[in-house]
Amino acid sequence: MDTLRFELSSASFTSAVTASSLHSQSRYFFSSVQLGRVGSSSPAITSVSRTTVNEICTADELHYVPVPNSDWRVALWRYLPSPKAPKRNHPLLLLSGIGTNAVTYDLSPECSFARSMSGSGFDTWILELRGAGLSSLSVDTKLGKGNNQQRIVSNLLENFISVSERLENVLDGGSKILGMQDRLSKRAGDFKQRFELIPHYNWDFDNYLEEDVPSAMDYVRTQTKSKDGKLLAVGHSMGGILLYALLSRCGFKGMDSGLAGVATLASTFDYSSSGTLLKYLLPMKEPAQAINLPIMPIDTMLAMAHPLMCRPPYALSWLTANISAPQMMDPEVIEKLVLNSLSTVPVKLLLQLTTAVDHGGLRDRTGTFCYKDHISKTNVPILALAGDWDIICPPDAVYDTVKLIPEHLATYKVVGSPGGPHYGHQDLISGRTARNEVYPLITRFLQQQDES
């Protein structure tokens, strides 16, 4: 990693919270810090500590971009192009899935999609949407009186602790070998320290689409100064849905999307005709609305479940199958994914995404705009990849969107072979064989669009 430069400004201390720091502390006070490569002419302004950046960010640069109409700033991890690779005409923006951060694209040296792309000459940027990773929230974090939403979440976590204790007693006879109950108690305690932030977790999919993504694209465009002002983009899971939605909206409005080419991995507008496990989310929709549940602590819940996913007696091993096909990801890589790449998300976001499982597919927050109805109006080349053993977004779900794209612009491929290897939801990025089988497909497509 390139040397980073930190310069403390003389400005007064400000209160800022990074999404990653919320795992361990309720409030952080940092001075304004400049972060950039040595010799950089325009380092980005950030409010994270030197220690936090060094421990978390594996990129060459870390940039921050204010999000309109909010107190959030999204984070952008930048991987500079290799000087040994051909010079590219367009920067590359990567978008990850729901509740995940930049780590998903850089889990290890052996499965780093971001490093592979920068090694191929692309100026590569990973967007961490509000609430994810090192995105930051400027708020007054003094603890206030508890409100009803805080009590709801507190009760949810206390119930998890109680269930985990009973489950642990059944599985290991009360010997607490798994340490599950203790782990969850600590996570719940850490989480309760950030209750004051719950009111700020109030965004939905359309906020990402209309505010976070355009702000990031404008910033990358300004920093890189591509000749035609366009970007290339890759999106995994919800990240791909965001790119599809951007193309759909722009096609509907007759606007230029600002994208020269798009690759989507395990993404679709419409899961309704497939056998996806996401359909099991639908029964949760009305209860969540009825009790006014504000957030879903995905990070806390999966951290609690991890010992039972990856260690004997493997009571929750079925959760691993949602992430990866058997033997496709090393256990330590799955552990890093589960423990270091997830974040809390608003239920408001989840509720809008559940429309993708209903007939007609994903809709805007008003319920009147069906995104798949307008993807046919796009003029941007698209590569759509599906994993043959993906049970979250099966190939038939991916194809449900691809078939609506103008045929001369769409390239569709199911990755995986009858005799193996097979690809689950995360394997397209992090599987053992992704570097040799998947990355080249994406690189060739991006090269073609970059040269067009």
Q: Tens digit of pLDDT for each residue in 195-214?
A: 667 788 899 999 999 999 99
Q: Is residue 227 domain-shared with residue 100, that is, in the same domain?
A: yes
In a domain, residue 185? The reply is: yes
Q: Quickly state the pLDDT bin for 409 (edges 50, 70, 90).
A: very high
Tell me: do 327 and 401 sit in the same domain.
no
pLDDT at 324 over 70: yes
Co-location of 308 and 255 in the same domain: no
What pLDDT score was predicted for residue 179? 54
Q: What pLDDT shows up at residue 393? A: 94
pLDDT at 178 over 60: no
What's the pLDDT score for residue 78? Answer: 97
How confident is residue 30, by pLDDT bands cut at 50, 70 and 90? Answer: very low
Residue 186 banded pLDDT, cuts 50, 70, 90 = low
380 shares its domain with 443: yes
What pLDDT does residue 187 have?
57
130-141 mean pLDDT: 82
Verify that 305 and 436 share a domain, yes or no. Answer: no
Neighbours of 174 (CB within 10 A): 10
Same domain assignment for residues 59 and 135:
yes
Summarize the confidence of residues 120-133 as an average pLDDT.
97
Instruction: Verify that 74 and 194 share a domain, yes or no.
Output: no
Domain boundary among 340, 355, 379: 340
Q: At which of 340, 360, 384 does a domain end?
A: 340
Each residue's pLDDT tens digit, 277-287: 666 666 666 66
Range with lowest mean pLDDT among 141-150, 277-286, 289-298: 141-150
- 33 assigned to some structural domain: no
The set of residues, in sequence order, having a beta carbon less than 8 Å from that of 209 and lying 6+ positions away, is 242, 245, 246, 249
CATH number where 107 lies = 3.40.50.1820
| Planar angle of CA 380, 384, 390, nearest 5 degrees | 155
User: Could you tell me if residue 7 is inside a domain?
Assistant: no
222's tokens: 């300004």
pLDDT top residue among 400 and 30:
400
Per-residue confidence at 137, pLDDT binned at 50, 70, 90? confident
Name the least confident of 38-47, 54-63, 76-85: 38-47
What pLDDT, on the 0 to 100 scale, is given for residue 301? Answer: 74
The rounded mean pLDDT for the chain is 80
| DSSP E strands, 9-157 | 14-18, 28-30, 33-37, 44-46, 61-66, 72-79, 92-95, 124-128, 136-137
Query: Which residue in this structure is represented by tokens 């850089």?
Result: 106
Question: Is residue 113 located within the same domain as residue 260?
Answer: yes
Q: Give a yes or no: residue 38 inside a domain.
A: no
pLDDT at 434 over 60: yes
Q: Is there a single domain that holds both residue 216 and residue 117?
A: yes
Classify residue 19: in a domain, yes or no.
Answer: no
Domain co-membership, 325 together with 388: no
Co-location of 434 and 291 in the same domain:
no
CB atoms within 10 A of CB 243: 25
pLDDT (0 to 100) of residue 339:
85
When pLDDT is cut at 50, 70 and 90, the band that residue 40 belongs to is very low
Residue 30 falls inside a structural domain:
no
Task: Please give the pLDDT value at position 183.
Answer: 58
Give the distance, in angstroms, between the CA of residue 125 and the centroid of all CA atoms in the same chain.
Answer: 13
Helical H runs in 173-297?
A: 180-192, 205-207, 213-224, 238-253, 282-290
Regarding predicted confidence, which is higher, 172 or 303? 303
Q: How many domains does the chain have?
A: 2
- Angle at 69 (CA atoms; ends 67, 71), nearest 5 degrees: 65
Q: Is the CB of residue 132 less than 8 Å from the CB of residue 99?
A: yes
- Domain of residue 163 covers 149-200+284-340
pLDDT in tens, 339-365: 888 888 898 999 999 999 988 999 999
In a domain, 360, yes or no: no
Same domain membership, residue 134 and residue 218: yes
Give a yes or no: residue 399 inside a domain: yes
Q: What is the pLDDT of residues 261-274, one digit of tens each?
A: 999 999 999 998 77
